[in-house]
């Protein structure tokens, strides 16, 4: 089964890397997609699975603050993180994570190599190594990446996760190349 031209290699990427229109007001670095990231993924011949945007799904496009772009970035990110920790948003996060666990399980069951997950550091939701909390960028995961990591591990499906900042293109590309590198 699956003996056609497909690479059988998959990477999951934060929604905003492919769609900058989804992120909070005042934070887009690119008009549409993070071109350097997309170019590398296409060149690597890896299947690209776009994660859902947890903030858009839980809080809406304005994240509950139509004047969010007027706030300092870390202050607004911390407010978003607090909103994402509310009960209603947490329930939506759980609903967003379940189909991803199914997809990972399906790909693994059929012998696909899942290279990992690419998140966005500093994000209150999709940060991997850093997130925003208490008006600062701090070590730790965003609420969505933590929920996803936990659900994957609970189902025996741990994945490598890396975080990048699309405002740091060279460093981001090095990080992604490391994730995509062949493993023994």
Tokens (6 digits) for 144: 């969505």
Q: Do 7 and 46 contact (CB within 8 A), yes or no?
A: yes
Span 144-150, average pLDDT = 98
- pLDDT at position 86 is 95
Do 75 and 135 touch, CB atoms closer than 8 A? Answer: yes
- What is the model's pLDDT at position 123? 96
pLDDT higher than 70, residue 184: no
Q: What average pLDDT does the structure give for the chain?
A: 94
147 burial class (0-12, 13-18, 19+ CB within 10 angstroms)? buried
Report the pLDDT value the prediction gives residue 28, as an integer from 0 to 100.
80
Separation between Cα atoms, residue 72 and residue 81, nearest integer Å: 14
Q: How distant is the alpha carbon of residue 155 from its chain centre?
A: 19
- Tens digit of pLDDT for each residue in 74-132? 999 999 999 999 999 999 999 999 999 999 999 999 999 999 999 999 999 999 999 99
pLDDT above 90: residue 32: no
What per-residue confidence (pLDDT) applies to 23?
A: 87
Confidence of residue 1 (pLDDT cuts 50, 70, 90): confident
What's the Cα-to-Cα distance from 105 to each of 101, 124, 152, rounded to whole Å? 6, 26, 9
């Amino acid at each position: 089964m699956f003996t056609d031209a497909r690479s059988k290699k998959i990477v999951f990427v934060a929604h905003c890397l492919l769609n900058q229109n989804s992120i909070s007001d005042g934070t887009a670095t690119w008009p549409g997609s993070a071109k350097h990231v997309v170019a590398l993924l296409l060149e690597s011949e890896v299947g690209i699975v776009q994660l859902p945007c947890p903030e858009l799904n839980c809080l809406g496009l304005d994240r509950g603050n139509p004047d969010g772009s007027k706030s300092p970035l870390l202050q607004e990110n911390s407010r978003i993180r607090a909103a994402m920790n509310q009960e209603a948003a947490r329930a939506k996060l759980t609903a967003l994570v379940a189909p991803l666990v199914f997809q990972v399980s399906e790909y693994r069951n059929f012998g696909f190599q899942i290279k990992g997950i690419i998140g966005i550091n500093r994000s209150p939701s999709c940060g991997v190594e850093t997130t925003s909390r208490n008006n600062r960028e701090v070590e730790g995961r965003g609420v969505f990446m933590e929920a996803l990591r936990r659900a994957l591990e609970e189902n025996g499906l741990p994945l490598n996760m890396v975080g990048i900042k699309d405002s740091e293109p060279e460093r981001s590309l090095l990080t992604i190349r490391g994730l995509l590198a062949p493993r023994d």
